[in-house]
Structure 1
Amino acid sequence: MSGNSNTALTLGESARPVKPRVVVTGGSGKLGRATVAHLSSSGYEVINFDRVRPKTASEDGKTGLQGAYRLVEVDLSDMGQVLEALMEIDMAYKKVDAVVHLAAMPSPGQSSSSKQFNTNVSSTYNVLEACRKLGITNIVMASSETLIGIPLDIKPAKLPITEESPLLPESAYSLSKLVGETLADQYVRWSRQSHRNPTGGEIKIVSMRFSNVMLEEEYATFAGWQDDARKRYWNCWGYIDARDGAEAIKLALENKTLKGHEAFIIANNNTVMKRPSKELVEEVFPGVPYTPLNDDPNVTVLSNEKAKRVLGWEPKYDYKP
């Protein structure tokens, strides 16, 4: 990502080398930590918006932030806090260049459905609206593989799943992700309207439908799934290493040709299983048409071809059967 506009200093801020400044919401989470570290090591100044401090953070919040320049405690469901924090924070920074919105109440079943839906939708609206008001036009958002109809109790029409597969949310969580993508569509449409955006320019919003995010140390748990294909059928046996997810985010931020709203499935090249994908599909989804993406017997059933083609992304970290 070249060029930035963060040369102005806020109240009490000390001068320092100028870097492209990126806000990562939810930077203390599993994918967030990997993203903060990766962007920071790639030359970005990263601001983590989160209500949770990373476990490694010092008491004063100045060290142990996985590479973040600052942790700013923000309630993303409060529009005032979001808008102010994207504008400037005393003693810290003024103006940001891009936003990576990862914060959400993760996965179904961890809170009341209404709380999960309302929190996720309001935070996404607040982030997108604040970006509109402030002219931030480079946005990457975490969407979800759950949009494919997880837990797939209703068989998919065909496999592999692609970005063109029907969006069939089956929970409040996945419904909140669908609303997030719908909001993105409309904010892009608004950006094309001269009376709303007199300075011109279609904004870029990238929705990343991450498969089940895994840390390297979690690969040891994969052994417990091998005896029964139905233990992980619910997302077509997909996963993504957090480090590869972070690289996909970086590539999306830096892509200069993308415009409008684009969605990408972000899944590994293989499944979590040792058994061939064709056998898994035939056992769990009998009768569903299936055309493997390539000759790898363990090839992913969640197509990552679009992300490879458009973003130049290639997963590097995986569970090798």
Structure 2
Amino acid sequence: KAGRHVVQYLVEQGCQVLNIDTKPLDNPKVRTLITDITDSGQVFNALSSYMGLHEFDPSLRPQPVDAVVHFAAIPRIMITTDNEVFRINALGTYNVVEAAVKLGIRKIVIASSETTYGLVFANEPRDPKYFPLDEEYDVDPMDSYALSKVVNEKTARAFAQRNGTDIYALRIGNVIEPHEYSLFPKWFADPGFRKRIAWSYVDARDLGQIT
């Protein structure tokens, strides 16, 4: 949901983008390399591969990579089992960050989440301790998704401290695409519905530009 807007923005800025995913992206200016990010060898291979569009291009030599934007994940609970959410998200992020750092890529952006504060997927609704939620707010999750994001932030910090790589973890709120603004009147009529996410959202196009 967020990644395709990031890709589109980068392409519009003149960047060459290789999309690493489990299924092709519907964007003729970007090649998708089917990759399982929970397999470290596949991630190392992907990040050291040719980045162009076609296997008949004049040169297929790998090119240096300036940055990695890592938004691949199981996007919430209740899609797959809790242990799979944690395994894929935590191990996948470790593999991506490790490969990027060891391959000498100097800038990495990863997707963290507002769920780390423990409000969104709590068993019962929790009242926020204060507003606005900021980086000083305690991270206190009880679910596998948010826990994986806390682990991912620690993973990023560990590699940044070890290698001095620039790694940024964005605590992203509820991602809204343009067509979803039609839902806002319904949400305004029932404010309690979005209390769990502290009434937050980010436009997917803005998120693309943040990266």
Is the structural similarity TM-score above 0.5? yes
> Deviation of residue 180 (structure 1)?
0.2
CA contact (8 A) 1:150 1:170 kept: no
Corresponding residue of 1:133: 102
Report the AA paired with residue 123 of structure 1.
G
Matched, 1:176 2:148: yes
2:136 counterpart residue number: 164
What is the 5 A alignment of 1:27-176? 30-54=1-25, 56=26, 64-65=27-28, 67-68=29-30, 70-89=31-50, 91=55, 92=60, 94=62, 95-151=64-120, 153-176=125-148
Give the Å deviation of 1:227.
2.3
- In the alignment, the residues of structure 1 paired with residue 9 and residue 50 of structure 2 have an alpha-carbon distance, to the nearest angstrom, of 23
**Following the alignment from structure 2 to structure 1, what is the Cα–Cα distance between the partners of residues 206 and 67?**
20
Return the offset for 1:226.
Answer: 2.1
Larger Rg: 1
CA-CA distance at 1:156 after TM superposition:
2.2
Aligned to 2:178: 216
Separation in 2, partners of 1:82, 1:102: 14
RMSD: 1.5
* Cα drift, residue 89 of structure 1: 3.8
Equivalent-residue separation in structure 2 for 1:223 and 1:156 (angstroms): 24
The whole-number CA distance in structure 2 between the counterparts of 1:222 and 1:93 is 48
TM-score after normalising by structure 2: 0.90
Identity %: 37
The one-character-per-residue Cα deviations of 1:278-307 (angstroms, maximum 9, x if unpaired) are: xxxxxxxxxxxxxxxxxxxxxxxxxxxxxx
Q: Equivalents in 1 of 2:139, 2:81: separation in Å? A: 23
Q: Give the TM-score normalised by structure 1.
A: 0.60
Distance 1:50 1:93 in 2: 21
Q: Distance in 2 between matches of 1:101 and 1:134?
A: 15
TM-superposition CA deviations, 1:72-117 (whole Å, max 9, x none): 1111011111001111249455131210000000011111000010
Post-superposition offset of 1:154: 2.6
Corresponding residue SS for 2:2: helix
Q: Check 1:141–1:171 CA distance in 2 against 1; reply closer, same or farther (3 A cut).
A: same
Report if aligned partners of 2:126, 2:196 keep a CA contact under 8 Å in 1.
no
Contact 1:50 1:73 in 2 (8 A): yes
Greater helix share, structure number: 2
- 2:147 partner amino acid: L
Q: Partner residue of 1:205?
A: 167
Q: Across the two proteins, how many residue pairs are aligned to each other?
A: 200
CA distance in 1, matches of 2:88, 2:71: 13
Please tell me whether residue 185 in structure 1 is matched to residue 147 in structure 2.
no
